[in-house]
Amino acid sequence: MLGRFNSFIEKWMAFVTPVCLLMGVLFPDIAKHGVPYVTYAFAFMTFIGALKSRFRDVADVFKKPLPLILMLLVLHVLMPVIACGLGHLLFPENANYITGMVLEFSVPAAVISLMWVSIYNGNSPLSLSLVVIDTILAPFLIPTALKILVGSSVKMDTMGMMKELVFMIALPAILAMCLNEFSHGKVMETWPSKLAPFSKMCLIFVVTSNSSKVSPYMKHLNGERIQVAVTILLLAAGGYAIGWVIAIFTKQNKKSTVSMIYGSGMRNISAGAVIAGAYFPSEVLFPVMIGTLFQQILAAFYGSMVRRVQAAQMKKEEK
């Protein structure tokens, strides 16, 4: 039964997260009761996602580190700077929207990107390495990006934020890899499939609970908030496209290209939502959470594009 549930959620992931967001927005008085437990659910999600990783997988990627380095630069330099620039250009009077946009595009690569990479036959070791390394670096990269780009506009509890990220991301990822090492790979062969349904449940719980905080803004959309939503959509779509273009210019193979598309485009929005909800005014949460509406749909769209391009390339090669 759990296996069928997991398969169903994976198949309809592009629609599950928007539905969860909608439920939190429509029923905030119920959904808000889950907020105190979001951090623990997210840590569990990270642990399950990292169960397919080993320290040796990370070490192998460092033999040819260019794709990994390029994805990290897109994730933590290029996209945050673009988001900050657009924020100042479009919303110069609203520091909270600018902060939310920068936070949205400063959080680490999404653990769920591993699922999409697997579906479209990407380079799994490369994607695993990106997620593990990025999540471990996140406690340092996110506060640094926020401090440099918007530090003069907002007040931040940097140490508290770093501790939260260490608990939610770094420690669970390291624990999972240690279990794989100590069990000589037995854990990664059995645990991920058994725990996958619970990871999906946690995702549903986290998105629904956190979206309760954005309910007042979604229920009272105005022209400016719609503009924020459109801007986030374009930035999110651009992240996937930039990863694809860089992969082409650096002449990556098909598998690594898929990994670079999803590695550059998919963000751990739930982590950003936890940080926004804990350390910033509620208005900061709107640009972060609105990205939940688009991420899985964009992932499915780009996956379809990848298959079309690869099919066209195969036809050319056959001729």
CATH of the domain at 130: 1.20.1530.20
Six-digit token string for 107:
């959080």
Q: Report yes or no on 16 lying in a domain.
A: no
Q: Report yes or no on 198 lying in a domain.
A: yes
Q: What is the pLDDT of residues 162-180, one digit of tens each?
A: 787 788 878 888 899 899 9
Position 15 pLDDT exceeds 90: no
Q: Report yes or no on 279 lying in a domain.
A: yes
Q: What is the pLDDT of residue 234?
A: 96
CB atoms within 10 A of CB 178: 13
Distance CA 309, CA 257 (A): 12
Domain that holds residue 140: 35-210+223-318
Q: Report yes or no on 28 lying in a domain.
A: no
pLDDT above 90 covers a percentage of the chain that reads 34
Q: How far is CA 312 from the centre of its chain?
A: 30
Distance CA 263, CA 267 (A): 8
Six-digit token string for 165:
């990220």
Higher pLDDT, 11 or 113: 113
Q: What is the pLDDT of residue 152?
A: 55
Q: How many domains does the chain have?
A: 1
Q: What is the pLDDT of residues 133-152, one digit of tens each?
A: 888 888 888 888 998 998 85
Q: Report yes or no on 3 lying in a domain.
A: no
Distance CA 52, CA 189 (A): 8
Q: What is the pLDDT of residue 154?
A: 55
Q: Report yes or no on 9 lying in a domain.
A: no
Q: Report yes or no on 152 lying in a domain.
A: yes
Cβ atoms 181, 55 nearer than 8 A: yes
Q: What is the pLDDT of residues 223-276, one digit of tens each?
A: 888 999 999 999 999 999 999 999 999 999 999 999 999 999 999 887 788 888
What's the number of CA atoms in the CB half-sphere (13 Å) around residue 95?
10
Q: Global pTM?
A: 0.81
Q: Report yes or no on 29 lying in a domain.
A: no
